[in-house]
Structure 1
Amino acid sequence: MIAAEGEFESWDAFKTKFYQQYFPHAVMKRLRKEFMNLRQGVDETVMSYRNKYGYLRQFAGDLVKEDADDVYHFGDGLRPDIGFYMVSSGAKTQERFSSVHLLTRFII
Structure 2
Amino acid sequence: MGATEFEGILDLEIVERWWKKVEDVMNLVSCTLEKRLNYVVSLFMRNALIWWRSVKRGYEPREITWAEFQKEFDDKYRPKMYRDKKRTKLLNLVQGDDQTVAEYELRFATLAKYAPKAVATQEDCCYHFEHGLLSEIRKGLAVRITNFKILFE
TM-score bucket (shorter structure): 0.7 to 0.9
Q: Root-mean-square deviation (CA), in Å? A: 2.0
Partner Cα separation in structure 2 for residue 87 and residue 58 of structure 1 = 28
1:92 shift after superposition: 2.5
User: Gapped runs of 5+ residues in structure 2?
Assistant: 1-58
Distance 1:22 1:45, change over 3 A: same
Length, aligned pairs only: 93
Partner Cα separation in structure 2 for residue 93 and residue 13 of structure 1 = 29
Distance 1:66 1:42, change over 3 A: same
% identical aligned pairs: 25
Larger RCO, structure (CA 8 Å, separation 6 or more)? 1
1:29 shift after superposition: 1.1
1:14 shift after superposition: 4.0
Partner Cα separation in structure 2 for residue 14 and residue 75 of structure 1 = 33
Partner Cα separation in structure 1 for residue 142 and residue 71 of structure 2 = 34
The match for 1:91 is: 145
- SS of 2:127's equivalent in the other structure is helix
Q: Please, what TM-score do these two structures have when normalized by structure 2?
A: 0.54
Judging by fraction of residues, say which structure has more helix. 1
Distance 1:87 1:57, change over 3 A: farther
Q: Say whether the 8 Å CA contact 2:95–2:132 is kept in structure 1.
A: yes
1:73 shift after superposition: 0.3
User: Gapped runs of 5+ residues in structure 1?
Assistant: 100-108
